[in-house]
């Protein structure tokens, strides 16, 4: 029976090409947009190279220091992390590093810009980089503030061509560093791992960099297996009470929190202060946004379906005259609509795949690799099915209620 419904649906869709095109376009456009947004968010929040254990990582990006009349919000200073946040219960490893910022060098007399990040040795133990040559710098390199560097595959190609880079020097901000390792390129959207050149944190040239409570550093905490993030966050809040301020007459309170990537995204999207986040609110807003985005084209499809059904009044009347039940007619028209929506889902998958692939070629997203996985694929078809049901049930039910004589007269009593 289902096979007959599908064959009939295909013939009907070919018969009314204009309605079919409009319906397919609305469904495909809506689902394509949803797929792209979901895929981008999925790549932002899921574990991927080199953040392969992101589900175990908490990050501190922003802190706030305040007094009775003063407020200072920025990333924290090395002194804060080093003195007050080491050895938190439930934390296996902790790393302190800077953001990836532009650094200039000169190659054959030409100015070149690379992304530079200062890190400690624990950084290489928390993140899982693929080394193409050499290895990461060591604890001894950090302790002795040796001018060594790990560079990306693309940086090696720009500086040394296809030759090996190990043991050669690269100039970073007018200082020569010896290359000790080369890693596979990191996508720019990996918040912790992305850069082109990494050097020991102890070599940071800024005077007073290691003596500040605020400014210059971020941190990541790799949780012990089975540890709860709430435990770590509670311990972090307790440490904030121990902070001794350099200017107690200006500042006496510090706020901030190690957060998951989802919590950080919620903090940014909802413009919340340091230490405050509402991931459940962000998820709710996202779901409501998707439903609203789906609702508008669904309403338009309801109207299109009603118009399409009205043009088939004679067919409906004949079928009812020969004994077709209202249930049979409803099933037929719902199957047609779900079939159409499924076709729109297939088109949406193809369009989303093409757009995501094209986005990896943009210079603004270097080394990015967006793709659709089976989880998103399955969710898309589930959404397409719901979409088809939602926009087809009401017109089908309304049509099935007509009497045969009325239907044969074109719906006029």
User: Looking at residues 220-239, what average pLDDT do you find?
Assistant: 96
Mean pLDDT of the chain: 84
Residue 225 burial (C-beta neighbours within 10 Å; 0-12, 13-18, 19+):
exposed
H-type alpha helices, 136-278: 139-143, 153-160, 229-240, 261-269
- How is residue 211 written in tokens? 């003596």
Other CB atoms within 10 Å distance of the CB of residue 355: 15
Please enumerate, as own/partner, the contacts of 239-248 that have beta carbons within 8 Å and a separation of 24 or more.
239/84, 239/85, 239/88, 240/84, 242/84, 243/80, 243/84, 243/213, 245/65, 245/213, 246/213
Confidence band for 46, pLDDT divided at 50, 70 and 90:
confident
Tell me, what's the pLDDT at 204? 96
pTM: 0.81
User: For the residues 232-236, what does the mean pLDDT come to?
Assistant: 96
The residue among 112 and 392 whose pLDDT is bigger is: 112
pLDDT tens digit sequence for 199-226: 999 999 999 999 999 999 999 999 999 9
Number of neighbours of residue 394 by Cβ within 10 angstroms? 12
d(CA 308, CA 325): 20
Among the residue ranges 172-186, 268-282, 396-410, the one predicted with the least confidence is 396-410
Q: How confident is the model at residue 346 (pLDDT cuts 50, 70, 90)?
A: confident
CA end-to-end span of the chain: 32
Confidence of residue 109 (pLDDT cuts 50, 70, 90): confident
Q: What percent of the chain has pLDDT over 90?
A: 50
pLDDT at 325: 67
Q: Where are the beta strands (DSSP E) in 259-389?
A: none
| pLDDT of the residue at 111 | 83
Averaged pLDDT for residues 48-64: 95
CA 345 – CA 32 distance, rounded (Å): 8
Closest CA to 142 of 110, 108, 115, 180: 180
| Cα(283)–Cα(182) distance, integer angstroms | 38
Q: In what order do the strands lie in the sheet with 253-255?
A: 71-74, 63-66, 253-255
In contact, 258 and 86? CB cutoff 8 Å:
no
For 347-396, the pLDDT digits (tens) are 888 888 888 778 766 666 667 677 666 676 677 667 666 766 766 666 66
pLDDT band at 263 (very low <50, low <70, confident <90, very high): very high
Query: Does residue 11 contact residue 336 with C-beta atoms inside 8 Å?
Result: no
What local confidence, expressed as pLDDT, does residue 251 receive? Answer: 96
Q: What is the pLDDT of residue 413?
A: 43
pLDDT band at 26 (very low <50, low <70, confident <90, very high): confident
Radius of gyration of the chain (CA): 30
The residues spanned by each domain of the chain are 2-46+281-408, 54-275
With CA atoms as reference, report the closest residue to 236 among 280, 279, 190, 274.
Answer: 274
Is residue 25's pLDDT more than 70? yes
pLDDT band, residue 87 (cuts 50/70/90):
very high
């Amino acid at each position: 029976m289902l096979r007959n419904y599908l064959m009939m649906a295909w013939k009907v869709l070919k018969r009314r090409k204009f309605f079919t095109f409009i319906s397919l376009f609305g469904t495909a456009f809506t689902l394509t947009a949803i797929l792209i947004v979901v895929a981008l968010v999925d790549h932002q929040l899921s574990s991927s190279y080199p953040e392969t254990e992101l589900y175990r990582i908490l990050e501190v990006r922003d802190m706030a220091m305040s007094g009775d009349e003063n407020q200072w919000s920025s990333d924290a200073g090395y002194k804060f992390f080093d003195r007050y946040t080491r050895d938190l219960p439930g934390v296996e490893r902790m790393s302190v590093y800077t953001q990836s910022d532009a650094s200039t060098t000169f190659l054959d007399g030409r100015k070149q810009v690379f992304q530079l990040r200062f890190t400690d040795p624990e950084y290489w133990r928390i993140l899982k980089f693929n080394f193409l040559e050499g290895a990461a710098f060591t604890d001894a390199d950090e302790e002795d503030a040796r001018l060594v560097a790990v560079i990306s595959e693309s940086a090696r190609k720009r500086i040394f061509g296809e030759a090996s880079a190990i043991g050669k020097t690269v100039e970073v901000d007018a200082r020569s560093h010896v290359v000790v390792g080369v890693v596979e390129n990191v996508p720019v959207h990996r918040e912790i791992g992305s850069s082109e050149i990494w050097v020991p944190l102890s070599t940071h040239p800024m005077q007073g960099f290691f003596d500040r409570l605020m400014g210059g550093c971020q941190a990541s905490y790799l949780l012990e297996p089975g540890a709860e993030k709430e435990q770590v966050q509670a311990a972090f809040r307790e440490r904030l009470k121990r902070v001794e301020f350099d200017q107690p007459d200006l500042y006496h309170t510090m706020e901030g929190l190690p957060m998951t990537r989802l919590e950080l995204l919620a903090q940014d999207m909802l413009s919340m202060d340091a230490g405050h986040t509402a991931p459940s609110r962000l998820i709710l807003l996202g779901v409501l946004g998707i439903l609203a985005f789906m609702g508008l084209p669904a309403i338009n499809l309801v109207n299109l379906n009603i118009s399409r059904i009205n043009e088939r009044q004679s067919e409906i009347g004949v079928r009812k005259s020969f004994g077709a039940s209202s249930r049979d007619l409803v099933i037929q028209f719902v199957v047609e609509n779900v079939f159409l929506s499924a076709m729109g889902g297939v088109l949406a998958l193809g369009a989303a795949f093409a757009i995501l692939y094209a986005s990896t070629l943009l210079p603004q997203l270097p080394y990015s690799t967006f793709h659709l996985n089976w989880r998103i694929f399955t969710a898309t078809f589930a959404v397409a099915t719901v979409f088809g049901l939602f926009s087809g049930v009401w017109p089908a039910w309304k049509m099935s209620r007509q009497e045969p004589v009325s239907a044969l007269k074109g719906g006029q009593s």
